[in-house]
Amino acid sequence: MHIVIFVTASNKKEAVKIAEKLIRNRLAACVNIIDRIESVFRWQGKVDRARELLLVIKSAKRMLPKVIKAVRSCHSYDVPEIIALPIAGGFKQYLDWINDSLR
């Protein structure tokens, strides 16, 4: 099963480091880095805000444990956002390319 994983990062350097690690280790086929997102969240009992970057990671469900481990190994947050959503369908050649990229 193909998945999309969302990870937020605190800065560009961190986002690129995570993306390159995932691609280099064939844990993801593609990582999009979306700059300048504004996050509003509750942390340690208070409402907080942060400017972050969003990584949109295309991978496979079987890779998720290794993706989580890789992200945590180079992420600056104590509790980084790492959430996965299933891909219900898509262009067959693109989905095949994801599979080929993970081998």
Mean pLDDT to the nearest integer, 24-52: 97
Rounded mean pLDDT of 66-83? 97
pLDDT band at 11 (very low <50, low <70, confident <90, very high): very high
Residue 27: both structure tokens together = 């844990």
> What residue segments make up the domains of the chain, in order of their start?
2-101
Q: Does the pLDDT at position 13 exceed 90?
A: yes
Give the pLDDT band of residue 103 (cuts 50, 70, 90): confident
Q: Please identify which residue in the block is written with the tokens 């945590």.
A: 72
For residue 3, name the pLDDT band (cuts at 50, 70, 90). Answer: very high
Residues 6+ apart with CB under 8 A from 58: 2, 3, 4, 28, 29, 30, 31, 87, 98
What's the rounded mean pLDDT across residues 1-24? 98
* Tokens at 62, concatenated: 């079987």
What CATH number has the domain spanning 2-101? 3.30.70.120
Q: At 78, is the pLDDT very low, low, confident or very high (cuts 50, 70, 90)?
A: very high
Percent of the chain beyond pLDDT 70?
100
